[in-house]
Amino acid sequence: MQERTEVSELGEFGLIHHLTKNIELQNASSILGVGDDAAVIDHFGKQTVVTTDLLLEGVHFDLTYTPLKHLGYKSVIANLSDIYAMNAMPTQITVSIGLSNRMSVEAIDEFYEGVYQACENYGVDLIGGDTASSLKGFVISITALGEITADKVVKRNTARKGDILCCSGDLGAAYIGLLFLEREKKIFMETPGVQPDLEGEAYVIGRLLKPEARKNIIEFFEEANIIPTSMMDISDGLSSEILHICEKSGVGCMLYEERIPILEDTKNAAFKFQIDPTACALSGGEDYELLFTIRQDDYEKLKDHPGISVIGHMTEAEKGAKILTKGGNLHELTAQGWNAFKKH
């Protein structure tokens, strides 16, 4: 009898590792392959950065409460965020879509309006793609390309003991936004016609439906002459991303709960669900902020930047990844990605 291993036994990272562990790059131009936010291809000093995302209806988005224009915008943003997370500037995207026959041309136009809006806002070109008819649900596949000078690529595996841990923007809001929309969807399903009660939740819902990518932070790095020692984008929750950098870089870290940037709007929204806002930042997802480490020497350069928070520092691997809570307790940081959290 043939062996059968369930994908769930491996998990997503396990599966990716399983599928890619034997890759040996053949082309001299392939500088960096699987395992970071994006791959890197060399062109005589200038390098091309490539990343790709596959989004499926019912898995990654719910058209019940996601306007198509926002979906188009967000699908592009998710890819641009990966390019910025390499310290690169995105230049081109390809967009492939599988269309269910429920979708009219007007609906597709709305989706592309969002795609083009993101292209315009971030200065990238849509250069290609593929369209197919899908028997079952809307399918979106986007690939983004970016440019960078060779010596400025920032990977995930190069954080060092003593480096300062930072993140951009604020965290946890998109997850609360999702909770609100899921709640209203449930109510609507049970009592059709009821108008959604999202009064006062514009910020958290906006963060979920129309996120932005952190172009401004990458531009600031360039101006301030900072090259982070490691970086990735925060799409699966802060703790999962920090653990990823620790593991890849072979270091530990100390994270200070009180330093995690969470806005009042997010806190108030979280309390309505009786959820700890910190848990949302640690284990929520889709923030599309940047998590990065810098050399201590660079601290002065960014300490006054209003869009950057210093949240901790890297330690030796033996000390593990820890969080010091507001109450003064030291806990092990655990990986609770987006999916794990949703099961609670």
Q: Segment 73-92, which members bind its own copies (CB under 8 A)?
A: 91-92
CB of residue 91 vs its own copies: minimum separation in angstroms? 5
Binders of its own copies among residues 104 to 123 (CB under 8 A) are: 104-106, 108-109, 112, 116, 119, 123
CB of residue 90 vs its own copies: minimum separation in angstroms? 9
CB of residue 176 vs its own copies: minimum separation in angstroms? 24
Please tell me whether residue 64 binds its own copies under the rule CB under 8 A: no
Nearer to its own copies, 168 or 235 (CB): 235
Please tell me whether residue 340 binds its own copies under the rule CB under 8 A: no
Nearer to its own copies, 108 or 317 (CB): 108
Please tell me whether residue 53 binds its own copies under the rule CB under 8 A: yes
- Binding range to its own copies, per CB under 8 A, among 14-22, 202-210, 220-228, 321-329: 14-22
Find the binder of its own copies among 73, 74, 83, 147 (CB under 8 A): 147
CB of residue 32 vs its own copies: minimum separation in angstroms? 8
Please tell me whether residue 15 binds its own copies under the rule CB under 8 A: yes
Find the binder of its own copies among 69, 86, 98, 169 (CB under 8 A): 98
CB of residue 244 vs its own copies: minimum separation in angstroms? 16
Find the binder of its own copies among 71, 118, 145, 181 (CB under 8 A): 145
Please tell me whether residue 10 binds its own copies under the rule CB under 8 A: yes
Three-state SS sequence of the chain: CCCCCCHHHHHHHHHHHHHHCCCCCCCCCEEECCCCCCEEEEECCEEEEEEEEEEEECCCECCCCCCHHHHHHHHHHHHHHHHHCCCCEEEEEEEEEEECCCCCHHHHHHHHHHHHHHHHHHCCEEEEEEEEECCCCCEEEEEEEEEEEHHHCCCCCCCCCCCEEEEECCCCHHHHHHHHHHHHHHHHHHCCCCCCCCCCCHHHHHHHHCCCCCHHHHHHHHHHCCCCCEEEEECCCHHHHHHHHHHHHCEEEEEEHHHCCCCHHHHHHHHHCCCCHHHHHHHCCCCCEEEEEECHHHHHHHCCCCCEEEEEEEEEHHHCEEEECCCCCEEECCCCCHHHHHCC
Nearer to its own copies, 4 or 258 (CB): 4
